[in-house]
Structures are given as C-alpha cells and as structure tokens.
Structure 1
Amino acid sequence: MAVYTVLLPPPSNKDGAPSPLERAVFVREGFAWLALFFPVLWLLFHRMWLLLILFVAVTVGVELAASLIGGPVPGVFGFAIAVLFAFEANGLRRWALVQRGYELAGIVAGSNRTECERRFFAEVQEPVSASVIDPAPTSPRRSVLVVPPRGDPGVLGLFPQKGTSS
C-alpha cells in the first residue's frame, strides 16, 4: 500500500500558466531508497539546494570527527547518516515544498502512484483550496463493515459493566 501526500503550488498570475492541479506534487510517505544510495543526487534532483549544503556539511563534519577516533567508526557513522537521511528524505522534501508556498491538498492511499493519482483527481473539485481527500478505499471489496454491538454495554474496554463491582 502506497501513501502519498499531495501538495499544490500557489496559483500563478501569469496568463496561460497551468492550473495548480496540473502542477500537483505527490510525495510518497516512508523510506526513500534512492536517497539511501545516492543522497546528493537525490537532493539535486529535487532542487533542495540549502538542504544539500547542510547535508554535505554535516556529513563531512561527522566523518572528520569519526576519523579522529579511527577504526571502522567513520564507515559506521557514514552508514548511519545515510540511513537516517533516507528515513527523513520525503519529510524534508515535503517541508521544502511548504517553504516554497505549496499547500497540503490531501493524503491518498493506493496500490501504486498511478492509482493514487486517479483517486485524488477523481475526488477533487474545481477549484481546490486545501481540501482533504479521504484515503479510505471506495470499492466494496476492500471496504470494512463495522457492525455495532447489540444492546448498550454502557462502558468501553476492560472496565466492569454497569452495576457490578469488583
């Protein structure tokens, strides 16, 4: 199951500019594998210049400090930084887009990105201004039926029933 956060850019005042819906950005939630193996290229591809400078500075600083210790420590610290960055990469991308003026339009879930895009654009209405899309599946074969219990139990959880004492 893939979960995407949908962000819309601010409206453009230029004539003939595409609508914010046409420029919607889908940011996947979770671990970013490309950011694990190629963090610098990942940051360059997503045009996150300040975060690239910060990442390089932190990585060089930690590697220099770890090289003073010697042994396998620099490699371990380098791997730890890469894994931590891969876990936070999509969150940093979302943060960078919000700093550029993008607004949250919804959260969509589906089996892949194409299905998430279909669900989002099927639910969206013109014009969109930070509407929240229900990520629950709409097909009956995937829906969950919630059946209320018979009668009024009066309490929830592991607490005793009304009128009983323990």
Structure 2
Amino acid sequence: MTLYSVYEPPGEARDPEERAEALVFVRHGFSWPALLVPGLWLLYQRMWLELVAFVALFALLGWVFDPSDAQGQTLFGCLSVALIVLFAFEANDLRGAALERQGYTQMGTAIGAGRDAAELSFLQTWLPRQEKGRERPPPPERPGNAGIPAPKGSGEAEGVIGLFPTP
C-alpha cells in the first residue's frame, strides 16, 4: 500500500467534479525518477527554486572538491551519489512543500495499491461530502391548500378509515 497526500489548487469554489479533476496526488516515500534523473525530475515537476539550489549545490561541490586530482574526484563522486540518494528520499516531500508555497492546500491523504486505487478510494469519500456541503436551490413552492376544506371533527367521515368503514 502506498500513501499519497492530496492537494487542491488555489482559486474560487467550483463544481465538485472540476475540483476533483484539479487535485494533485503526491506519493510519500522514495522516488525512483528523482534518483535516476534528478534534474529532469525537477524540471518536469516545475520546481524551479529547488532546481536552482540543486545545480548550485553541485557547482559548489565541484568548486570545493577539485575534480582534476584523484582524491578530489573521489570525494566529489561519493558526495554526489550520497546527495542524490538523499534527494530521492526527500523529493516528494519537497514537491509537497513547493505545492503549498504555490498556494495549494492539503485536503487529506489517500491509501491504495497504486495511484489509481488511491484516487478512487479518496474520491469515493471526498465527493459525497462535497455534494452534501453544496448549496442547493430551495424547492419550488407548492400551491397552498386553500381550496381544500378542513376535516370535520364529527359527522359523516367519523368511523371511516380511508375508503373502508370500521365495523
């Protein structure tokens, strides 16, 4: 089972179906794409500040540990691998923080065997709550009972229930 955080974009209240389409599901845990191609992953997620910090950190490492000599090259390689692995563990948390910085609000969490199952389980509980909270127009007014006479306390209708008289 995988845990996802669910984020809703900022903006005015819309139809629940439109809101459901705009939700962003962020997986918790290790990110394989962030491990294999971290720079491209940051570009794809549009995390510009994190990309600049990532590139600046590696430029600083290249400057401090001069890769022209063997020892500096070894240290630069080991630190680079360690930082990329650390980044892969924290990438999805950084994505959630970037979404919150952009004005997204965390709506809750979802659990599922995959993303589709998590979306389905979340939306099955979230959509009915949105329908309940949605304001519905008042029902149309019915014509009054002005033409119907009030029932009599005694008389011919006494002893009759519906169409059948009582014995």
TM-score (norm: length of structure 2): 0.69
Structure 2 spans left out of the alignment, 5+ residues = 134-167
In the TM superposition, 1:40-119 aligns within 5 A as 40-67=39-66, 70-119=72-121
> Could you say if the C-alpha distance between residues 70 and 116 of structure 1 is closer, same or farther in structure 2, counting changes exceeding 3 Å?
same
Residue 7 of structure 1: how far off its partner (Å) = 0.5
Partner amino acid, structure 2, of 1:122: Q
Cα RMSD of the aligned pairs, angstroms, is 2.3
Higher helix share: 2
Distance 1:87 1:126 in 2: 34
What SS does the corresponding residue of 2:4 show, helix, strand or coil? Answer: strand
Q: Are residues 127 and 105 of structure 1, via their aligned partners in 2, closer, same or farther at CA, if it must alter by over 3 Å?
A: farther
Take 2:96 and 2:49, find their aligned partners in 1: how far apart are those partners?
A: 14
**What's the CA shift for 1:19?**
2.9
Q: 1:127 to 1:64 in 2, by over 3 A?
A: farther
Amino acid aligned to 1:89? A
How far apart are 1:70 and its partner, in Å? 1.8
How many residue pairs align between the two structures? 127
Higher relative contact order (CA 8 A, sep 6+): 2
1:126 aligns to what SS in structure 2? helix
The corresponding residue for 2:5 is 5
Tell me the percent identity. Answer: 39
State the structure with more CA Rg. 2
CA 12–128 in structure 1, closer or farther in 2 if over 3 Å, else same: farther
Deviation readout 1:10-35 (Å, 9 max, x if unpaired): 1248x99x833210000000011110
Structure 1 segments unaligned to the other structure (5+ residues): 130-166
Q: Secondary structure at the match of 2:20?
A: coil
